[in-house]
Amino acid sequence: MLERLAEAQSYARPLLTNFRVGAVVRGTSGALYLGANLEFPGVGLSQTVHAEQAALSNAFMQNESGIEAIAVSTPPCGHCRQFLYEFAEGRDIEMLLPKQPAIGLSALLPRPFGPGDLHVTHGPLSRTRIAIESVESVAQTARYAASNAYAPYTNSPSGVAIRSRRGNVYRGSYIENAAFNPSLPPLQVALVAMALASEDFNDIAEVVLAEAANNSISQVSATKALLAAIAPRAEFRLLPRAK
Task: List active site positions.
Answer: 52
Residue 170 host element (H or E): strand 169-173
- Per-residue HEC secondary structure of 16-82 comes to CCCCCCEEEEEECCCCEEEEECEECCCCCHHHCECHHHHHHHHHHHCCCCCEEEEEECCCCCHHHHH
Q: Is 12 helix (H, G, I), strand (E, B) or coil?
A: coil
Q: Is 90 left (phi over 0), alpha (psi -120 to 50) or beta?
A: left
Judging by beta carbons within 10 Å of its beta carbon (0-12, 13-18, 19+), is residue 146 exposed, middle or buried?
buried
Residue pair 105/88 in contact (Cβ under 8 Å)? The answer is yes
Residues paired with 236 in a beta bridge = 207
SS3 109: coil
Long-range contacts of 107-115 (CB under 8 A, 24+ apart): 108/76, 108/81, 109/81, 109/82, 109/84, 109/85, 112/82, 112/85, 113/82, 113/178, 113/179, 114/85, 114/86, 114/88, 114/178, 115/86, 115/152, 115/178
